Structure 1
Amino acid sequence: MSAREVIVAGETLLLLAQKALYWPREKMLVIADIHFGKAASFRAQGVPVPRGTTTQNLAELDALMIEHEVAHIMFLGDFLHARAAHAVATVAAMLAWRLRHPALKLTLVRGNHDRHAGDPAASLAIEMVDEPHVIGPFAFCHHPDIETGGYALAGHIHPSYLLATRFDALRLPCFVVGPSRMILPSFGAFTGGFLITPAPGDAIYVSSGEAVHFVR
Structure 2
Amino acid sequence: MDACCRVSLAGETVLLLAGKALYWPAQQMLVVADSHFGKAASFRALGVPVPRGTTTQNLQALDALLEQVACRQIVFLGDFLHARAAHAPATVAAMLAWRRRHPQLLLTLVRGNHDLHAGDPSSLLGVSMVDEPYRLGPFAFCHHPDTPSEAYVLAGHVHPVYHLRVGHDGLRLPCFLQGPSRLILPSFGAFTGGHAVRPAVGEAVFVLADGAIFPLP
TM-score range, shorter chain: over 0.9
Large movers: runs of 4+ above 2 Å: none
Corresponding residue for residue 110 of structure 1: 111
Corresponding residue for residue 179 of structure 1: 180
Corresponding residue for residue 170 of structure 1: 171
Q: Residues 2-151 of structure 1: matches in 2 within 5 Å?
A: 2-151=3-152
- Counterparts of 1:196 and 1:203 in 2: how far apart (Å)? 11
Corresponding residue for residue 210 of structure 1: 211
- Counterparts of 1:106 and 1:53 in 2: how far apart (Å)? 20
Q: CA deviation at 1:121?
A: 0.4
Which amino acid in the other structure matches residue 123 of structure 2? A
- Counterparts of 2:101 and 2:128 in 1: how far apart (Å)? 18
Corresponding residue for residue 197 of structure 1: 198
Which amino acid in the other structure matches residue 135 of structure 1? L
- Partner of 1:212, secondary structure, is strand
Deviations 1:6-61 (A, max 9, x none): 01101111111111110111000000000000000000011110100000111111
Which amino acid in the other structure matches residue 63 of structure 1? A
**Structure 2 length-normalised TM:** 0.98
Q: Percent identity?
A: 66
Tell whether the 8 Å contact from 1:20 to 1:29 is kept in structure 2 after alignment. Answer: yes
Identify unmatched segments of 5+ residues in structure 2.
Answer: none
- Counterparts of 1:199 and 1:132 in 2: how far apart (Å)? 24
- Counterparts of 1:103 and 1:164 in 2: how far apart (Å)? 44
Q: CA deviation at 1:149?
A: 2.7
Q: CA deviation at 1:199?
A: 1.9
Which amino acid in the other structure matches residue 185 of structure 1? P
- Partner of 1:94, secondary structure, is helix
Deviations 1:73-105 (A, max 9, x none): 000000000000000010011011111111100
- Partner of 2:81, secondary structure, is coil
Farther-moved stretch of structure 1 (2-11 vs 196-205): 196-205
- Counterparts of 1:77 and 1:214 in 2: how far apart (Å)? 25
Tell whether the 8 Å contact from 1:134 to 1:149 is kept in structure 2 after alignment. Answer: no
**Structure 1 length-normalised TM:** 0.98
Deviations 1:156-208 (A, max 9, x none): 00000011122211110000000000000000101011111222211000000
Which amino acid in the other structure matches residue 142 of structure 1? H
Q: CA deviation at 1:3?
A: 0.4
- Counterparts of 1:109 and 1:206 in 2: how far apart (Å)? 25
Identify unmatched segments of 5+ residues in structure 1.
Answer: none
- Counterparts of 2:143 and 2:172 in 1: how far apart (Å)? 23
- Counterparts of 1:160 and 1:212 in 2: how far apart (Å)? 13
- Counterparts of 2:46 and 2:202 in 1: how far apart (Å)? 42
- Partner of 1:170, secondary structure, is strand
- Counterparts of 2:60 and 2:15 in 1: how far apart (Å)? 20
Q: 1:209 to 1:133 in 2, by over 3 A?
A: farther
Would you say how many aligned residue pairs link Structure 1 and Structure 2?
Answer: 216
- Counterparts of 1:97 and 1:114 in 2: how far apart (Å)? 20
